[in-house]
Amino acid sequence: MIELKNISKTFQTKEGEVRAVKDINLTINSGEVYGIVGFSGAGKSTLVRMLNGLETPTSGEVSIDGIRIDNLSGEALRKQRKKIGMIFQHFNLLWSRTVLENIMFPMELSGISKEERTKKAQNLAELVGLGDRVHSYPSQLSGGQKQRVGIARALANDPDILISDEATSALDPQTTDEVLDLLEDINRQMNLTIVIITHEMHVIRRLANSVAVMDDGGLIEKGPVSTVFTTPQEELTKRFVSSEVDNSQTPDIQQITADLIKKYPNGKIVSLKFHGDQVKLPIVTEMIREFPDVTMSILEGSIHQIGDQQSAIGTLFVQLLGEPAEVEGALDFLNKMRVETKVINNG
Amino acid sequence: MGEQGLASYFQFNNVNWPNVWTAAWETLWMTVISVLIVAIFGILLGLLLYQTDGSKNPAVKVLNWVVGFFVNVFRSIPFIILIVLLLPVTQVVMGAITGAKAAIPSLVVSAAPFYARLVQIAFNDVDNGVIEAAYAMGANSWQVVRKVLIPESMPALVSGITVTAISLIGYTAMAGAIGAGGLGQLAYTDGFQSYNNAITLAATVVIVIIVFAFQYLGDWITRKVDKR
């Protein structure tokens, strides 16, 4: 278990004091995938670097499984760091070493025999799908392959914790998903605690169980991913969530919406949000049967699974036409079925 | 004594070739030995400059300043003056002030600070992310130097020592003029002072070949170690 208590960090710069992290309290359970999301400069990197002592808090306590990390130094700190793997946005591989030698690097630091580390590095290379590229140099690999090497290297010392610092931010969407799949497998197979920092809500949705939102050094919201995705409280969190699950703001859809409003000035543009098992129910069909005089045009719809795939969130963006009383009745019906409705344009 | 027209360059019957080969061997020997010593001291000094740079600790700051100051001073002294300046030191260290052996201290003192600066630049160019990754994996400072800093800057270290070696060859010739032996001395005493231009030309050609050989070897190793 990772515990952060009242963590603050202040940097002295020429322009004066910068408070990078402000009074953060956070508990991360063992085996959990914990996402920390925020824009760049929000303090995420500084915060996670306290877990392996690359940064020390100005005040507050960092402990892992009851051991204080923030006041470790020298050999004790290095020993602790070997139990924490880390992967980076720019991979940070040694270009002078082959794939195999890069994976062996942490084991060399731990003084594992050459024979043993060669064997283990080979196994790890196979685990990440690079068994046939072990003698290549990083410059011969694609971005996704480099990150796979980074992951294999991070696992070399059998860590308890894996820190991912924007590990997919330099990758294209498809490669990102491949790397996320790999991390998901690793979390499941090795029961590793994974701490992810990212600015992409997609990564959180795909991988994390819990999420914390950081803004300007402070923690503004935290909780299980399914809760934060379905009922975000803070404005910034809402923006992050809708950037991932709400596709209704693309220029194409806005154009069609504008056309429809012009054509049917009395229609109501409504966004419907379905949570959990609601996404599997024929709620809209029932509504139309109840209110047969209401006409509906679908503008956009999507479903996203959340976190451990136990939960889902669906959005439907529609125009409703008909007698005002009928349309109101339809909306009431949806509300009664606990569908979240939001009227975007009243006609 | 031969004639002094342009034709004098080509009176190769006046050249004592065994002397040329002996001198070439002395030049090579002086260069190789001093390059080896310069490489060691240069990397140590460069590492010191790199590690002490940007520190907030006042003692370390002073150390960085002092080392940087001496590096700059010895880099600024013209070589011919440095040899004369170091004569007493050479006498104490090498027990002689003439011959190839006696040239080594001044060659090292002049070239090591130059190479140290190149080493510092090479280390500065190593990706900070990779160094951070090594520390995150539990490396100590010595492991970072040995396993990250030096291997990751190897192409720059090799091309730096190549440049240094070539200027060292130039310095050995100057040292030769005041008694260190080698092709410089051959060209000066047997060539210039004996009015024997063919020897001067022979010495020139041999030294150019040596320079080219070092350059070629350096470039080849640089390419070999660069896996970027």
CATH number, domain of A201, equals 3.40.50.300
Q: Are residues A212 and A295 in the same domain?
A: no
Query: Which pLDDT belongs to residue B217?
Result: 96
Average pLDDT, consecutive stretches of 10 residues, N- to C-terminus, chain B (228 residues):
73 86 92 96 96 89 92 90 91 87 92 95 96 96 96 97 95 88 89 87 94 96 94
* DSSP state letter for A139: G
Query: Which pLDDT belongs to residue B137?
Result: 96
**A7 CB-near residues (< 8 Å, 6+ apart):** A21, A23, A24, A25, A26, A47, A50, A57, A59, A60, A61, A62
Query: Which pLDDT belongs to residue A165?
Result: 95
Interface residues of B toward A, Cβ cutoff 8 Å, are 127, 129-130, 132-140, 143, 147-148, 151-152, 154, 225, 227-228
Q: Are residues A187 and A270 in the same domain?
A: no
Segment A97-108 mean pLDDT: 97
A146 class by beta-carbon count within 10 Å (0-12 exposed, 13-18 middle, 19+ buried)? buried
Last residue of a domain, one of A244, A278, A300: A244
CATH number, domain of A331, equals 3.30.70.260
pLDDT > 70? residue A117: yes
The beta strands (E) that lie in chain A are given as: 2-13, 16-28, 33-37, 59-64, 67-68, 84-88, 161-165, 193-198, 210-215, 218-224, 268-275, 295-306, 311-321, 340-345
Fold of B6-225: MetI-like fold (1.10.3720)
Q: Are residues A127 and A67 in the same domain?
A: yes
Residues of B in contact with A110 (CB under 8 A): 138
Name the closest residue on chain B to residue A98, using Cα atoms: B227
Query: Which pLDDT belongs to residue B194?
Result: 85
Q: Are residues A327 and A193 in the same domain?
A: no
pLDDT > 90? residue A77: yes
Query: Which pLDDT belongs to residue B180?
Result: 85
Q: Are residues A233 and A213 in the same domain?
A: yes
Last residue of a domain, one of A223, A244, A265: A244
Segment A186-201 mean pLDDT: 93
Q: Are residues A36 and A143 in the same domain?
A: yes
Between A68 and B12, name the one with better pLDDT: A68
| Chain centroid to CA A320 | 35
CB within 8 Å: B151 and A97: yes
Distance, in Å, from the CA atom of A86 to the CA atom of A163, rounded to the nearest integer, reads 5
**A17 CB-near residues (< 8 Å, 6+ apart):** A10, A11
Query: Which pLDDT belongs to residue B112?
Result: 95
Q: Establish if A12 touches chain B: CB-CB under 8 angstroms.
A: no
Query: Which pLDDT belongs to residue B3?
Result: 59
Last residue of a domain, one of A244, A273, A301: A244
Q: Are residues A212 and A310 in the same domain?
A: no
Query: Which pLDDT belongs to residue A210?
Result: 94
The pLDDT tens digits of the residues spanning A204-250 come to 998 999 999 999 999 999 999 988 888 889 999 988 888 887 777 78
Q: Are residues A257 and A336 in the same domain?
A: yes
CB within 8 Å: B132 and A137: no
Q: Are residues A189 and A74 in the same domain?
A: yes
State the residue range of the domain holding A88: 2-244
Q: Are residues A303 and A234 in the same domain?
A: no
Query: Which pLDDT belongs to residue A347?
Result: 64
Query: Which pLDDT belongs to residue A312?
Result: 83
Q: Chain-wide mean pLDDT for chain A?
A: 91
How many domains would you assign to chain A?
2
Q: Are residues A311 and A225 in the same domain?
A: no
Distance, in Å, from the CA atom of A305 to the CA atom of A317, rounded to the nearest integer, reads 18
Q: Establish if A109 touches chain B: CB-CB under 8 angstroms.
A: yes
The pLDDT tens digits of the residues spanning A36-56 come to 999 988 999 999 999 999 999
CB within 8 Å: A79 and B138: yes
Query: Which pLDDT belongs to residue A303?
Result: 87
Segment A325-342 mean pLDDT: 90
pLDDT > 70? residue A288: yes
Q: Are residues A60 and A86 in the same domain?
A: yes
